[in-house]
Amino acid sequence: MTLIDKVLINNDTSIKPIWIMRQAGRYLPEFREIRTKNPDFIKLCLNEVLSAEITLQPLKRFDLDAAIIFSDILMLPYGLNQKVEFRKGIGPILGNLELDNIIELEESDFVEKVRPVYNLISLIKNNELTKNKSTIGFIGAPWTLLVYMINQRSPKSGLKHNFFEDENFIDKVLKLIEKFLKVHIKNQVESGAQIIQIFDSWAGLLEQKNLSKYIYTPTINLVEYIKSLKVPVICFPKSIKRYKEFCDIVNPSAICIDYEVNPKEILKDIKIPVQGGMDPKILLTSQENVKKEAKKYLDIFKDHPYIFNLGHGILPDTDPKMMDYLVKLVKDY
């Protein structure tokens, strides 16, 4: 059993395993080297040899307890034949969403299109570096994928004015996203993913009255599906504010928290295992601050099943030495 499984399945509080969101990424010079030579991000994700190498890069440097596969939540719209591009300084840009084409799409055609992602998982699972460690697969939550697929770009500066206009259309897209997410999950698990994390990066955009329809109901369906495959599921409904309500209703195996929520409130309100929380910006300051903040989370969750992580992805400007310092600190705790 891996250390992370001990926390997720046995509720073990005596160990505090660590992995970091975006641990394979731009703060590592060896990633940037590969990235510069591979300007097409989707193609890079579909190159299983290179994406396996990128996945393993942080494990070669740091004593992390999991490998998270190098892929992207937007491989789903890509697999549904919606155009997905990444532009420097802007982020993802998606093409038009052709509902009829998605309705007619065969599951096997989707699987063939994203097959390298599953090959990558087998490569990772069978690599010596992940022995006794967890291999984490992931998906975007239906709501966050809906946002990208309809908005066609990051909603950083808000959703399109007519986003909610055609409710019938949204309902159909949401159903299709759910259908193909199940296919994507099943294939990841069959290839060796031992945990699935659900990233709902834009959960914070919704008003309370819409949470049930766009977040709780579709996420419950996926959580129950993942549990039926005998795999733990970690949910990250970023900035949702109502983490307790989310856990009571959706009941994942663990909840990943962002850096804005008060960890003491979480400890008081939430009974399931917790992951994450520390502000990634702390890693841009001093070792002293990192020690203080990391210890804060470790102390608060001392007697609670807890997986150390950040409250969002590690920032590109982070010094790898700071990451090294953090991992050692958590391991020595």
Q: For ligand CP3, which residue of 52, 56, 67, 68 counts as binding (CB under 6 A)? A: 68
With binding defined as CB under 6 A, does residue 86 bind ligand CP3? yes
- Cβ proximity of 79 and 45 under 8 Å: no
Cα angle for residues 272, 193, 103 (degrees, 5° grid): 100
Q: In Å, how far are 69, 130, 197 from 52, measured between CA atoms?
A: 8, 12, 18
Q: Distance between CA atoms of 311 and 266, rounded to whole angstroms?
A: 13
98 DSSP assignment: -
Provide the pairing of β-strand 84-87 with 66-68.
unpaired
Per-residue contact string for residues 28-47; x = within reach of ligand CP3 by CB under 6 A:
-------x-----x------
Question: Any residues with CB less than 8 A from the CB of 146 and at least 6 apart, and which?
Answer: 170, 173, 174, 177, 214
For residue 17, the minimal CB distance to ligand CP3 (Å) is: 16
Q: Distance between CA atoms of 162 and 47, rounded to whole angstroms?
A: 37
With binding defined as CB under 6 A, does residue 327 bind ligand CP3? no
With binding defined as CB under 6 A, does residue 184 bind ligand CP3? no
Q: In Å, how far are 49, 123, 203 from 135, measured between CA atoms?
A: 16, 11, 25
Phi, psi of 58 (to 5 degrees): -65, -30
Per-residue contact string for residues 98-117; x = within reach of ligand CP3 by CB under 6 A:
--------------------
List 140's β-bridge partners, or say none. Answer: 199
Query: Which CB sits closer to ligand CP3, 12 or 144?
Result: 144
Stretch that binds ligand CP3, among 24-32, 104-112, 252-260, 296-304 (CB under 6 A): 24-32
- Cβ proximity of 44 and 34 under 8 Å: yes
Q: Distance between CA atoms of 123 and 134, rounded to whole angstroms?
A: 13
With binding defined as CB under 6 A, does residue 313 bind ligand CP3? yes
Query: Which CB sits closer to ligand CP3, 2 or 23?
Result: 23
With binding defined as CB under 6 A, does residue 77 bind ligand CP3? no
With binding defined as CB under 6 A, does residue 73 bind ligand CP3? yes
With binding defined as CB under 6 A, does residue 196 bind ligand CP3? no
With binding defined as CB under 6 A, does residue 199 bind ligand CP3? yes
- Cβ proximity of 184 and 114 under 8 Å: yes
Q: For ligand CP3, which residue of 92, 218, 237, 273 counts as binding (CB under 6 A)? A: 92
With binding defined as CB under 6 A, does residue 143 bind ligand CP3? no
With binding defined as CB under 6 A, does residue 4 bind ligand CP3? no
For residue 68, the minimal CB distance to ligand CP3 (Å) is: 5
With binding defined as CB under 6 A, does residue 26 bind ligand CP3? yes
Query: Which CB sits closer to ligand CP3, 68 or 205?
Result: 68
Give me the residue label for tokens 């997986």.
307
Q: In Å, how far are 70, 142, 201, 222 from 274, measured between CA atoms?
A: 23, 22, 17, 19
For residue 189, the minimal CB distance to ligand CP3 (Å) is: 17
For residue 271, the minimal CB distance to ligand CP3 (Å) is: 25
Query: Which CB sits closer to ligand CP3, 122 or 154?
Result: 154
Q: For ligand CP3, which residue of 25, 192, 237, 280 counts as binding (CB under 6 A)? A: 25
Q: Distance between CA atoms of 138 and 233, rounded to whole angstroms?
A: 9
Query: Which CB sits closer to ligand CP3, 1 or 49?
Result: 49
Which residues make up the interface to ligand CP3 (CB under 6 A)?
Answer: 21-26, 35, 41, 68, 70, 72-74, 86, 91-92, 138, 154, 199, 201, 313
